[in-house]
Chains A and B, each alone.
Chain A
């Protein structure tokens, strides 16, 4: 089955740029979605179809997808961005939804 690989943790200073990667075999041929989950809360969709932002999500959040890596980029990071981030795709070969293992973003 299709596997998505994320780094367990990423640390960034306030005001800097955080990049969270999601690796998968030829992931560039799939549509990638990203979720933010803060402690004790349900996940929130922050990016869909690689780079589209739902209404209400700040422009600081952006996404890209090419080759074997998709990337969630958070510009001008704020303390409130500290959360777990998950990537997700639809695996058409198995008719499954697949989540990455998640990345804990720490704002220093």
Chain B
């Protein structure tokens, strides 16, 4: 059974940093692209970032480019999102999602999310 478990969320002040993690199990992690998708309270889905199976390709939403960094450790079956210079508009539930195959494919499994609240 595929499982994606996010962690690392919490309350943080504007301008500070936070690192999210996603622990994956139930599939061969290093065969698939992975993504972060967020959802602000009461709002729709917003793609944040994606990374290919071997970290050779990465993409970022314009809203986070230069502030967020995606990475993965295939030996640990883990995905990360380093978030810096956080803004109040980054407040959202952050989902980890598995790519069905490559970076350009659909997301076939999602975690339950970890909440990030940016507030002073």
A residues with a Cβ closer than 8 A to B are: 1, 31, 33, 35, 37, 42-45, 48-49, 54, 84, 86, 88, 90, 92, 94-102
Q: Is B9 an interface residue (CB 8 A)?
A: no
Shortest beta-carbon distance, A27 to chain B, in Å? 15
Residues of B within 8 A of A86 (CB): 44-45
Residues of B within 8 A of A43 (CB): 37, 45, 95, 107, 110
Residues of A within 8 A of B46 (CB): 99
Shortest beta-carbon distance, B109 to chain A, in Å? 8
Quick one: CB contact mask for B24-66 with A, threshold 8 Å, 1 for yes? 0000000000010100000011110010000000010110000
Q: List 13 A-B contacts (CB under 8 A).
A: A42-B112, A43-B107, A43-B110, A45-B107, A45-B108, A48-B100, A48-B108, A88-B47, A96-B59, A96-B62, A99-B37, A99-B46, A100-B44
Q: Is B105 an interface residue (CB 8 A)?
A: yes
Residues of A within 8 A of B113 (CB): 42
| In-complex Cβ contact of B95 among A42, A49, A54, A84 (8 A) | A42
Q: A101-B44, A102-B44, A102-B45 are in contact. Are A45 and B106 (CB under 8 A)?
A: yes
Shortest beta-carbon distance, B9 to chain A, in Å? 14
Kindly name the residue among A45, A48, A97 whose own CB sees the greatest number of chain B CB atoms within 10 A.
A97
How many residues in B have their beta carbons less than 8 Å from beta carbons of A? 22
Given pairs A31-B104, A43-B107, 6 additional interface contacts (CB within 8 A): A1-B62, A35-B45, A43-B37, A45-B106, A86-B45, A90-B103
Q: Is B14 an interface residue (CB 8 A)?
A: no
| Interface of chain B residues 85 through 120 with chain A (CB within 8 A) | 95, 100, 103-108, 110-113
| In-complex Cβ contact of B47 among A44, A49, A99 (8 A) | A99
Kindly name the residue among B45, B61, B106, B107 whose own CB sees the greatest number of chain A CB atoms within 10 A.
B106
Shortest beta-carbon distance, A19 to chain B, in Å? 19
Q: A43-B110, A102-B44 are in contact. Are A97 and B95 (CB under 8 A)?
A: no
**By the criterion CB–CB under 8 Å, are B59 and A42 in contact?**
no
Report the bound CA distance from A86 to B44 in whole Å.
8
